[in-house]
Amino acid sequence: MKTILDSIKTIAVSVDALIQEGDLGYSTQHNATGDTQLKMDVAADHVIEEALSALAHVRAIISEEKEDVLILDPQAPYTICYDPLDGSSIVDANFTVGAIFGIYEGEPSGASLITAAYVLFGRHIEMVSVERGNPPVRKRFVHGRWHPMDQAFMLNDKGKHNAPGGTQQYWPAYHKAFIDSLFAEGYRLRYSGGMVPDLHHLLVKGGGIFSYPATTDVPNGKLRQLFEVLPFALIFEAAGGQAIDHHGQRLLELAPKHHHDTTPCFFGSNYEINALKKAYGIAE
């Protein structure tokens, strides 16, 4: 696992260089969800593919930017699913963007996710990783070295911030009522439109909630299970929070039928997620 995480660290530096170069033009390609890819998306994907393909023990890699699975060694144990540049719609505004990695042992699903990592391309490059276990191994690479996280990035029971994703016009009424109820309680809005910085923000501040509900325009949610949702579910649970879908099911219990499947998703500290369960009528 160390080799894969070390490789992601090296990848982070190369992808950051691409972002610094700043070619924001569109390519002629589309990803599996139909989004027109930026040249930067394609270039980041290429850098990551090349680096991960050089590793031993990797059965396959699956990129959010590619339709198909790339099989590397059918006998090897790990499949790495990744979103090379999450937040492509805000990179032109010079907002912080990220990359997300899920390392699965066997067929990729919540149950087989063994390590999750994300990279933040912000004022400085930062990487956070969680290796599943009891207790999970939580590490942060920043300012040139790995730091064990101990109490850092552990969520309090309740936070102060509300990060509501999706187009409000298409939210179900009970979701809007829930989001409004948090603001009525004094929660403050923090939503940049990038999943990585928005979830990182909640981890740094010790709580709150990020939601991307089922909406009338995207009934199965927008965020992809293997590349985005499951890795962050592992990271939030390891931080003492919860990560559930709109039925109240733990996201880590999901098993996508297709590698580009999406899901509605909610990540947060206990108070807010329990309040969401009540608002959705899914409290135990």
Q: What is the contact surface with ligand FDP in residues (CB under 6 A)?
A: 86-90, 165-166, 193-195, 198, 222-223, 228
- Decide whether 44 or 72 has the Cβ nearer to ligand FDP: 44
Q: How far is the CB of 241 from ligand FDP (least distance, A)?
A: 17
3-state SS, residue 33? coil
C-alpha–C-alpha distance, residues 183 and 3, integer Å: 44
- Decide whether 39 or 57 has the Cβ nearer to ligand FDP: 39
Rg (CA), the chain: 18
Closest CA to 128 of 120, 136, 223: 120
Q: How far is the CB of 198 from ligand FDP (least distance, A)?
A: 6
Q: How far is the CB of 195 from ligand FDP (least distance, A)?
A: 3
The Cβ of residue 152 has, within 10 Å, a number of other Cβ atoms equal to 14
> Which residues have CB under 8 Å from 98's CB, separation 6+?
85, 86, 87, 118, 119, 120, 121, 194, 195, 196, 197, 200
Beta bridge partners of 121: 97, 125
Q: Which two tokens stand for residue 64?
A: 């959010």
Closest CA to 113 of 101, 122, 104: 104
- Decide whether 192 or 270 has the Cβ nearer to ligand FDP: 192
3-state SS, residue 4? helix
- Decide whether 131 or 272 has the Cβ nearer to ligand FDP: 272
Q: How far is the CB of 227 from ligand FDP (least distance, A)?
A: 8
C-alpha–C-alpha distance, residues 262 and 246, integer Å: 12
Q: How far is the CB of 139 from ligand FDP (least distance, A)?
A: 23
Q: Which two tokens stand for residue 140?
A: 């942060």
Q: How far is the CB of 123 from ligand FDP (least distance, A)?
A: 19
- Decide whether 38 or 60 has the Cβ nearer to ligand FDP: 38
C-alpha–C-alpha distance, residues 50 and 66, integer Å: 14
- Decide whether 165 or 256 has the Cβ nearer to ligand FDP: 165
